Amino acid sequence: MATAESVFPDQSDFHYDYETLRTTGVILAVVMFVSGILIALSKKFTKCVKSSSNSSSSASQVPKTEVPPPGV
């Protein structure tokens, strides 16, 4: 039967490259933060543009409201 050392080799020389891990994490965090801000602002600006162009054309029109059918 195989011993534990032959199945699982010694990993004492294994180490993480913390500098690369940290740099990659910071870069990803900045990219996601900036993209989130851009998405939030783009939706806000497109909403403002649509509402300002829509309000000038519909200012002379009376808004239509639905009247629910009478209940019994």
Query: Which pLDDT score is estimated for 5?
Result: 60
Q: How far apart are CA 48 and CA 45, in angstroms?
A: 5
Q: Domain locations in the chain?
A: 18-50
Q: How far apart are CA 21 and CA 6, in angstroms?
A: 30
Q: What is the pTM of this model?
A: 0.46
Q: How far apart are CA 72 and CA 33, in angstroms?
A: 55
For the chain, 72 residues long, give each residue's pLDDT as a single digit of tens: 556 666 666 666 677 889 999 999 999 999 999 999 999 998 877 766 555 555 555 555 666 778 778 876
Query: Which pLDDT score is estimated for 17?
Result: 87
Query: Which pLDDT score is estimated for 23?
Result: 97
